[in-house]
Amino acid sequence: MDLRRVPLALMALLLPLAAHASKVKSWNHGTASSFEKAKLSKTVVSSQGVVRLSREVKLLANLDATHVWDLAEDANGVLYAATGKEDGKIYRIGKDGAAASVLTMKDTQILSLAIAADGSLFAGVGPGGKIVRIDAKGTTSTIGENLGSYVWSLVADPATGAVFAGTGPKGTIYRIGADLKAEPYYVTKQDHVLTLAVGAGGALYAGVDKEGLVYRIDAKNKGFVVYDATQSEVRTLAADDAIYAGTSAPGTRKIPSGFKPPTLPLSGTGTSGTGTTPSSKTPDGEPETAPKKTKAATGPLGSFGSDDTKGIGASAPSSPSSSENSVYRIGKDGSVREVFREKAMVLRLLRLKDRLLIGTGMQGQLFEVHEETKEKAEIARLDHGQILSMLKRRDGSVVLGTGDPGKIYVLENRYAARGTLVSDVLDAKLTSHWGSLHWASETPAGTTSSMAVRAGNVADPDDTWSDWSAEQTDPAAAFAKAPTARYLQYRVTLTTKSPDATPELRQIVVRYKTTNQAPEITSLDVPDLDATALDSPKKLKLKWAAVDPNEDELNYRLYVRKKEWTDWVLLEENLEKKDYDWDPATMPSGHYQAKVVASDRRDNAPEDALTAEKVSGWIAVSNEPPAVAAKVANINGTHATIDVAATGSLVRLVEASYAIDGSRWSSAFPADGLFDSKQESLRIRTESLRPGTHVMVVRVKDAAGNVGSADAVFRIAEKQ
């Protein structure tokens, strides 16, 4: 059989057969969650668990800035960047990446940019709440002041030539017309208008914090909420045939080592430490922070696709957790669908034909969503910070502006030449022998995929671990060539010589067998007839518990031995259950011990199989009834008193009863009221009886269920 032609899922069934009795375990990685903790370098993992080379990202400009908040390009292809550090600056970026400052604002940040129809550049400032205009001649003027504290967003309406500004902390949108005056256009009654977009037909859309609302503003003072997001902050909008809204509400991702929150906010913090949207300015110019409320899920979240899926009966997905953010698609008919969800802040959206680019923080991840295939993939990852801004340039290229530190990159339309994925440390729990290493991949011409492994006995790889093995290139014949150890890592390496082709790796299976260790019988419980009586005199319930470090299947042998015997007698073998009902009547009376032997032979070769045993405490087996004697102590008028002496052979006595002249049974008790020993004395005084001869039968039961009896005959005399 040519294993290269066998599907991987079928191969997983065939290969363990060669191991015969040995229990082979495996790690099977083929979903996005399998690679959640993997370290990726120039590789990405799609929502369907496909590993690919990432898109190449090339540094265009390294600015003297902490954040590149926004990007804009004029009609001549000149690129501008809005930045912040101690001071806010606007940079003009040349094609060679050379950056020249065209505007500096002291003690503030340049947060937003827009190119107006006449070619002038508008810039939003905060703290300070200003709008600055740079005309085509380079003349700078302030056209809006005291617009709150922050001008978060600017957008130019190509149809009217007006520029709109979203501000905070009073949630007001301003309109700047031909007269270059900033006039209030719409008040949202929220704190901050973080993002604006002009949609089809010239409608203005706004995303806000506090309540996570998306507004459509049709005219001055005419607003309508088109969506109320689950999250509390809508950070970014993109307009196309629909409106796309991205959220950046508080999250709980671990803060990277050395990360410092930006001076100006990205979103609410929660526990992520990523900054908060300010409610006002502190005396030193820094933004105050205010806690954000957690919202309940609202709005219809269906599976995404075309707007024609509304009538399909499908269950709605779960609401995002407090650490998750989403991108929502708002259709022309008002229908809303979640198209993306991730434990990251969604900071910028860019629509490109049939795909949507999503820039996130805090790990600088760039995602791509194809609505038709419903596939989400991380296509690039920066080695720092956040993707704060994105712009498609006139030449078709895409540029990214980042934070921590402030840089500008070009997303190139080609794959990285080489990339790796290093798995999380895989813990076999016990020292293990490594077996076959298989993966399913597609390798177009000019591309390769290979794997290597390393192993060690400490959880964090260090210099005590083995070196990486030689690269394995044949998934049908590869083995994990690493020394016997407890921990293992694998490394995937993808390469391409073609800029438009990438290998795709879809599933990884690593097989291993732990070094066999003996099972352990943790308990063996037998009846204690001094503590309790048997429910059934024909059954002694023996119960035990056992564990196996290798998780092998166990079977059991059960033995008993009488106190006077030298050897054990086998009661049962090949037991699978962990209990046994022993009929004591099959053995002579006496004191016994039970022994259980556990074996892992079922999952191991004979030479590797191991056993464990445990011996119980003493068990009393009594098949002889108690000795009972009854005698008439005295007769007093119409009453008789009978003395009873009872003795058990091996176990204590537990109950007694009597009947007179064949009538119902009545309970009898020892003089002290307690059945607590093998010998008990009882005195039974009858009720008033008629004259004549009577017979009393007394029966006594022991803890093993044996019953002994005796009788006494007596006469009640006639009254004189």
Predicted confidence at residue 296, as pLDDT, reads 39
Evaluate whether residue 99 is within a structural domain.
no
Give the domain extent around 21: 3-54+418-514
Predicted confidence at residue 245, as pLDDT, reads 97
pLDDT digits (tens, 9 = 90+) for 479-500: 999 999 999 999 999 999 999 9
Last residue within a domain, chosen from 563, 590, 621: 621
Are residues 615 and 525 both part of a single domain?
A: yes
| Higher pLDDT, residue 257 or 96 | 96
Q: In angstroms, rounded to a whole number, what is the distance separating the alpha carbons of residues 265 and 73?
A: 25
Are residues 599 and 678 both part of a single domain?
A: no
Q: What does the pLDDT average to over 298-313?
A: 31
> In angstroms, how far is CA 219 from the centroid of its own chain?
46
Predicted confidence at residue 288, as pLDDT, reads 36
Are residues 505 and 544 both part of a single domain?
A: no
Q: In angstroms, rounded to a whole number, what is the distance separating the alpha carbons of residues 437 and 77?
A: 51
Last residue within a domain, chosen from 577, 601, 621: 621
What's 670's DSSP letter? B
Locate 26 and state its tokens. 């495996």
* Contact (Cβ atoms closer than 8 angstroms) between residue 111 and residue 160: no
- Using DSSP's 3-state secondary structure scheme, residue 578 falls into coil
Count of C-beta atoms within a 10 Å radius of residue 135 = 14
Are residues 615 and 526 both part of a single domain?
A: yes
Residues forming a β-bridge with 121: 115, 134
Evaluate whether residue 464 is within a structural domain.
yes
Least confident of 280-294, 365-379, 623-637: 280-294
* Contact (Cβ atoms closer than 8 angstroms) between residue 471 and residue 479: no
Evaluate whether residue 370 is within a structural domain.
no
Cis, peptide link before residue 519, omega less than 30° from 0: no
Are residues 509 and 531 both part of a single domain?
A: no
Instruction: Specify the CATH number for the domain of residue 25.
Output: 2.60.120
Residues forming a β-bridge with 167: 151
Evaluate whether residue 564 is within a structural domain.
yes
Are residues 680 and 706 both part of a single domain?
A: yes
Are residues 570 and 636 both part of a single domain?
A: no
Predicted confidence at residue 423, as pLDDT, reads 97
Last residue within a domain, chosen from 621, 636, 670: 621
Please provide residue 602's backbone torsions phi and psi, each rounded to the nearest 5 degrees.
-60, -35
Indicate the pLDDT class of residue 317, thresholds 50, 70 and 90. Answer: low
Are residues 526 and 617 both part of a single domain?
A: yes
Q: What is the pTM of this model?
A: 0.63
* Contact (Cβ atoms closer than 8 angstroms) between residue 345 and residue 362: yes
Least confident of 102-116, 307-321, 396-410, 552-566: 307-321
Instruction: Specify the CATH number for the domain of residue 586.
Output: 2.60.40.10
Pick from 393, 320, 382: which is nearest to 350 by CA?
A: 393
Q: Number of structural domains, the chain?
A: 3
Evaluate whether residue 44 is within a structural domain.
yes
Predicted confidence at residue 372, as pLDDT, reads 78
pLDDT digits (tens, 9 = 90+) for 31-61: 989 998 999 999 999 888 999 999 999 999 9
Indicate the pLDDT class of residue 284, thresholds 50, 70 and 90. Answer: very low
Are residues 485 and 528 both part of a single domain?
A: no
- Using DSSP's 3-state secondary structure scheme, residue 314 falls into coil
Q: In angstroms, rounded to a whole number, what is the distance separating the alpha carbons of residues 279 and 191?
A: 7
Indicate the pLDDT class of residue 537, thresholds 50, 70 and 90. Answer: low
| Higher pLDDT, residue 671 or 687 | 687
Evaluate whether residue 65 is within a structural domain.
no
Instruction: Specify the CATH number for the domain of residue 667.
Output: 2.60.40.650
Q: In angstroms, rounded to a whole number, what is the distance separating the alpha carbons of residues 160 and 162?
A: 5
Evaluate whether residue 505 is within a structural domain.
yes
Least confident of 269-273, 551-555, 608-612, 653-657: 269-273
Are residues 429 and 481 both part of a single domain?
A: yes
Evaluate whether residue 84 is within a structural domain.
no
Are residues 689 and 640 both part of a single domain?
A: yes
Are residues 550 and 588 both part of a single domain?
A: yes
